[in-house]
Structure 1
């Protein structure tokens, strides 16, 4: 199976502080990868490197087999940041308008978006189960509903990879599993490779295919069944504090 993200011997420093050391990760096409680790473990820095926002100090990153320095097809990668950092929910825009703004990656900021694209916008909204709210103002929605809209905004440009940074922040616990069910559908039915950044190990292991555990160094990278063989004490040693892993029946 082809790898859509390949990271080899990656190191990164901020001035004198080493944030990432000797990272090797391969993400196969169609995977659902959870990138887990404690606060300050380098998860956000690794995301910025994959998205081309930072340049590697040492090591290599390839996207779809191409060195990141030459990669130009950024429309293939969708990104959803934490809701609180990604959008001003008080902005007077409808769900349709917010999702429509995701087309600017393909069309350019000020280029006219043709009417034929309306179908793509509606389809992206439907894929996250928000079609009944299509004309609702974004500020009137719950945190979980807003996050679904931001995912639709990323999906409208038809990415091959969707990267989500702590997507359940602001989603009430009752709706977290519904949210993961939606991500599972996008992964299995639409074939989108998902990279989910989270520290919520207990919930995530029942929903993803692969786990990478990061704490400046890569302590584990493999499929979910292998990760679930770790006991709480072993995972806690990686995190530097007590962590409870929920083991699920598949």
Structure 2
């Protein structure tokens, strides 16, 4: 469906200990788009992600997922999530790449269910899609930060989500692997039609990869296409070039 809204945020506000973190946020995400979210430290970017994922509840307003009120939404397998794992992952964790990606099916098949052949095929396919098939039996802790993040993407997409949310996923990843990371995201968007929502401190990468951008600083200061943002950022956003500085 053209311009179908898969995420709608309507007049959402949120406070931590009476301090306003998000103030009357209005925002929507269309199916198949790549939305980048930028802004200074403390602007509410990660809080917004937690609200979308249902980890926090808004103090005001409502969030719709696939046109359904979030409080009634049950099909969380339709939404994948990738966080800053590469920067903080326990390198002593003994699981293999295959096992880590398989854990992404827990919500779909149950915690103690055996993997069926079709599930194993899905796991292998997800690992192939992120270019890590040659490492399928390698311990996750033996991989580089960039390789680990590829595995976490595979885990997030193994259940075939329609939306993939990424919160600062390139923190701790070297420049070469960051380029590969974005190529994988674009491939997922083009080949699988996954909608991408990504929080990032790297404004230049967002402007080169995303098609829409939000500049957030407790309120939505800008929401529109990337080219429009490029035209106005110098005159409207003093921190836009270094949003987390």
TM range, normalised to the smaller chain? Answer: over 0.9
Q: CA RMSD in A?
A: 1.6
Find the counterpart in structure 1 of residue 199 from structure 2: 197
**Which sections of structure 2, spanning at least 5 residues, go unmatched?**
none
Q: 90, 105, 128: which one pairs with 2:107?
A: 105
CA distance in 1, matches of 2:99, 2:48: 31
Once the two structures are TM-superposed, the CA of residue 230 in structure 1 deviates from its matched residue by 2.2
Find the counterpart in structure 2 of residue 248 from structure 1: none
Large movers: runs of 4+ above 4 Å: 84-87
Once the two structures are TM-superposed, the CA of residue 8 in structure 1 deviates from its matched residue by 0.7
CA distance in 2, matches of 1:212, 1:206: 14
CA distance in 2, matches of 1:133, 1:230: 44
Find the counterpart in structure 1 of residue 65 from structure 2: 63
Is the contact between residue 232 and residue 244 of structure 1 (CA under 8 Å) also seen in structure 2?
A: no
Is the contact between residue 202 and residue 244 of structure 1 (CA under 8 Å) also seen in structure 2?
A: no
Once the two structures are TM-superposed, the CA of residue 188 in structure 1 deviates from its matched residue by 1.2
CA distance in 2, matches of 1:176, 1:127: 16
Matched, 1:243 2:241: yes
Q: 20, 23, 35: which one pairs with 1:21?
A: 23
Is the contact between residue 87 and residue 171 of structure 2 (CA under 8 Å) also seen in structure 1?
A: no
SS of match in other structure, 1:189: helix
Find the counterpart in structure 1 of residue 94 from structure 2: 92
SS of match in other structure, 2:232: coil
CA distance in 2, matches of 1:85, 1:103: 24
SS of match in other structure, 2:209: coil
SS of match in other structure, 1:206: helix
Find the counterpart in structure 2 of residue 232 from structure 1: 234
Q: 1:27–1:185: structure 2 CA closer, same or farther, 3 Å change rule?
A: same
**Which sections of structure 1, spanning at least 5 residues, go unmatched?**
246-250
Aligned residues: 241
SS of match in other structure, 1:186: helix
